[in-house]
Amino acid sequence: MLNFGLVRRVPGMAKLFSILMRKLLDFTDYKYQKLLINNINIVEDFELAMRFENSKILGYLKNLGRYIFEQKAYDSENLVLIGNSLDGSYVTTSESIISKKWVAIGIGSHFQFEEELAKLGNEVYGFDFNITKKFISNKRIKLIKKYWGSLNSNSLITLESIFEVAGILQSDEWNLKFDIEGSEWHLINQIFAQGNLPKIIVGEFHQLIPRFNDSNLDNRQNLLKQLYEHYNPVFVKANNYSAYVATADLGLYDALEITWILKTQDLPSFSAKPMPTSHLTIVNDKLKPVYPIGHLLRK
């Protein structure tokens, strides 16, 4: 038992005791450790799926390789990193960042992407019910405290209503960014219901690693196929906070940041050659390595 009288009598003991108690009661790393445990569970679930649903899972991974990693040729010099070195930056095209209208869904505390877009002259409409920090005053940024949802309510807004709020007409050119922690798989279909497709989509796609008895697997696969039919995936980056798995052919993180360009933007249709993209890649978790993604055995 700690002798509190000793704390009072010995010089410096109170300060030492204060430091030790802060260390003892420090739970700031709890969220990170919980994430690591969750990643282990995802990998174990994937291994179980590979054992009992092998043909189904391999078919899914084959399609994923086609829809995401078989990028079309695009000059990497026309790709730019918007934001800064923190988690909150995304890659888009140099053509998309000058006087364009952006809808940015899912902001939270990372708003460097939106802030830089506004400084470059873009009009940005940001949607997130839990916006935790205020933007630097910029008239080009409009914040709406609502989630993207399947209906309209006090906390939810559909993409159709987002069009109305942002004043997007069917003839307008616009771009979309989202990071909504897996909810995208229930909402992406709204993009194709509007008629006026965004020219650029930058988004973080979650839950890409197949789980055992995964009831949403077909839906994710179908939505990625629909995206691939309309868009070319020109940049893919691993979010290495998420779980990682690898088969004989494919390396995959559970979360990937993907930049898609509408196919009507006159992008060449031949297969891409390896592009130097190190200047575009920010490592999310600097404590962990980044493993290879995409087709592992192809030259």
* Strand spans (E) along 135-277: 141-144, 147-148, 156-157, 174-178, 200-205, 231-238, 244-246, 250-253, 256-262
Residue 221, burial from CB neighbour count under 10 angstroms (0-12, 13-18, 19+)? middle
Residue 209: the pLDDT is: 96
Compare 87 and 140 and report the one with higher pLDDT.
Answer: 140
The number of folded domains in the chain is: 1
Average pLDDT for 211-221: 93
- 7 domain-assigned: no
- 138 domain-assigned: yes
Give pTM, 2 decimals.
0.82
Residue 175: the pLDDT is: 96
pLDDT above 90 covers a percentage of the chain that reads 44
- 76 domain-assigned: yes
Compare 143 and 207 and report the one with higher pLDDT.
Answer: 207
Q: Amino acid identity of 290?
A: V
List the single range of 75-89, 119-133, 199-213, 229-243 with lowest mean pLDDT.
Answer: 75-89
Q: Is the pLDDT of residue 86 over 80?
A: no
Residue 242: the pLDDT is: 92
- 275 domain-assigned: yes
- 229 domain-assigned: yes
- 8 domain-assigned: no
At 202-214, the pLDDT tens digits run 999 999 999 999 9
- 228 domain-assigned: yes
- 60 domain-assigned: yes
* Residue 135 DSSP code: P
Residue 194, burial from CB neighbour count under 10 angstroms (0-12, 13-18, 19+)? middle
Give the range of the structural domain holding residue 74, as residue numbers without chain letter: 29-295
Average pLDDT for 28-50: 85
154: domain CATH number is 3.40.50.150
